[in-house]
Every structure is written in structure tokens, then in C-alpha cells.
Amino acid sequence: MSTHINFNVNILTMREPLCKKFDLAIAWNWEYDKDFIDRIEEIAYRNGISTYRIHPDNVRDVYRLVQENKLFFRVILDRASDVDEEFEPIARFSMQSELHSDLHQRIAVINPQDMMYRAADKATMHLEFLTNDIEVPYTIIISPFRHEPAPKLTDDQLAVIGKPFIIKPANTTGGGIGVVLDAQSLNDVLEARKHYEDDKYLLQELIKPVKYGERKAWFRVFYAFGKVIPCWWDDETYIYEPVTSDDERIYDLYELRTITKKIYRVCRLHFFSTEIATTENHRFVVVDYVNEMCDMRFKSATPDGVPNESVDKIIQAMIEFVKKEKDRMLPVSSGRYWT
């Protein structure tokens, strides 16, 4: 059962003659994002960045005020429209503003909805990664069950992947939904595809990471507004630890940064994470491509949360991004906006 959140309602009255402008709007609807949003606002305040929360209780009013030019955001962090249709109109409006408006009216979106959907498609990302020399597991992509109930796939083809192998839907993401980690046969493939009949599926070789001391060489790496923030991550316990500069030097992990920047050039998202494993022969293989909506619960609040210091680095990079967007906005003499 979800916990009720007492959102801070900050709707403007209709009597306001000028457009109220805020540096950063945060659209959110997940109760466990509250600590993350609180921390964003705390760091933003220290840096002179104004913020505005958009949540289920005010999203319709916010959309109306934005359309009426009574409310404006320089940047919007969208953490809701992918799962809540109530946020769709403001997400579309913001995206259209980013694409088509002049500099004074443009809203920078973190992350634009169309780009998130593209990045979330594992089949698309797999092919893009191959094209851009990003190492990925050996993979077979098969069409949706609804289009082709009996794919032309043989046991000999599966043998190339090895056993066990992984089955994962291309677009159904989050928390390992629909993923089979120990598939053994063609029959496993046929059964797994029935769960999401309209989705493509990826059949992938199982990547076995080397161990560095007591830790698996499995990493979740965050890309945040030009900064790369790598973490150790266990794919079974989901426990994070920061990758230190000593770790990078001792285990020669600098490739994590290079690969993550390559992934950015493919997906073009301001903020995402990826999973990379290192094998015995020091191959760096991207095992989960682009997580376009990162779970930002704090390690101090939950054992499998992101290390607090890593969250702070992500937020500081976000605030620097907002500052740059703010600096790009030249003074407007028309009186439409005020600062």
C-alpha cells in the first residue's frame, strides 16, 4: 500500500499579472522520491536556484498556468510522465518548447519523453551500441509473440549463446520485470514471450564477472550532465558502493568512464545509468544498456539505495546544468517574463 504524501502546493492565483518564472521544476509522483527531491531543493537553495514541485495534486493547474503564460520553468526534471498519464500534457508541452521555441521560451527537459522511450528500447540500444563499438553480450533479438508466435529459432542457434542464458523484454523495464536469468531451452523462450505479447525479446549470453577481492566486477555507472559517477553494484544483492579513485587506479577501471560517455553519445539523455561488468580477460561488457529513470533512494534510508555521496554528486551536476541554462536566458524586455 502506498504512503500518502502531503505535497507542497505552490499554485499561483489567477490575479498574478506577470509570468512567474522558476529555474527548476520537478515533476514527481513516487513517494520514495521525496528524500531525493528534498535534497535537490536543499542544494538548489544554496546555489541560488529557485525550484517548483509538480505533483499529482497540482499538475493540472500547473499545465493550465503554463499554457496561459502565467508560469514558466527554465528546466523541468520529469520523473513522472513515464508512468502517470496526468503528467503527459506538461511533458509534451515542455518537449515541444525545447524543440521549437526561441531561447527565451525554451524549457530544457530532463529527460525528453521521446528520447527516454528510445533509450528504454533494449533492442534499439543493442543495435546502436554495436554500431558505435560498445561491447555487449552476444544477443539474439526476436519479434513479439503477437506478431510471430513461433519464431524461426533453433536449438543450434541458442547453443551459440550458451546455457544458462538470459531472456529479457525489450521495452518492459524496471526492477527486472519479465527477465528470466536462468533460461535453458527454446521452450523457456516460447513461454517467456507470452508474458508481454507485444514486446520484442532479447536472448543474451550470461556474462560472468571477475572478482576483485570480495567484490564482483559489476558496476552501475551514472551519467549526470557530463559527469560520470561509477559505483560497485551487486546484481544479486543490489548493494552499491562508490568506486573510489584508488579503485579506478588499482583495478584499471577508467574504461567505465569512456564507455559511459559513448553511451551518452548514443542515447543523448542528460541523466541515466548503465550496468557494466568486467570479465576475467578484462573485457568491459555493457550488460544492461540504459536505465532512463534511475531509482534515487538513499543508501542511508534503504540498504540497496544509492550511496549518499553519489546522489549528492548527481544533484550538484544537475544544479550546474540548471545554472548554465539560466545563464543562457537573456533579459526579456517584452515584460512577458520576470526574474
Dihedral over alpha carbons 155, 156, 160, 164 (to 10 degrees):
30
Kindly tell me the burial class for residue 26, based on how many C-beta atoms sit within 10 Å of its own C-beta (0-12, 13-18, 19 or more). buried
The stretches in the chain having pLDDT less than 70 are 1-17, 98-105, 173-176, 329-339
Nearest to 10 by CA among 62, 49, 47, 48: 62
Contact 272, 143 (CB under 8 A): no
3-state secondary structure of 218: strand
**Chain position carrying cell 512577458:** 336
Helix (H, G, I), strand (E, B) or coil at 290: strand
| Residue 59: strand pairing partners | none
Give dist(CA 305, CA 288) in Å, integer.
18
**What is the three-class DSSP state of 232?**
strand
Q: What is the pLDDT of residue 14?
A: 41
Predicted local distance difference test score (pLDDT) of residue 106: 79
Question: Do 24 and 50 form a contact (C-beta atoms < 8 A)?
Answer: yes
Give me the CATH topology for the region 1-111+306-339.
Answer: Rossmann fold (3.40.50)
What one-letter code names the amino acid at 87? F
Is domain 138-205 annotated with CATH 3.30.1490.20?
yes
Helix (H, G, I), strand (E, B) or coil at 260: helix
Paired with 220 in beta bridges are: 231, 275
104 close to 329: Cβ distance less than 8 angstroms: yes
Per-residue confidence (pLDDT) for residue 339, from 0 to 100: 31
| Domain residue limits, the chain | 1-111+306-339, 138-205, 209-291
For residue 224, the model assigns a pLDDT of: 98
Order of strands across the sheet with 218-224? 240-242, 227-233, 218-224, 271-278, 284-291
Task: Please give the grid coordinates belonging to residue 215.
Answer: 567484490
The pLDDT value recorded for residue 88 is 93
* DSSP 8-state symbol, 126: H
Residues 6 or more apart whose Cβ sits within 8 Å of residue 100? none
pLDDT the model gives residue 1: 38
Q: Is 190 exposed, middle or buried (CB count within 10 Å of its CB: 0-12, 13-18, 19+)?
A: middle
CA distance 290 to 118: 10
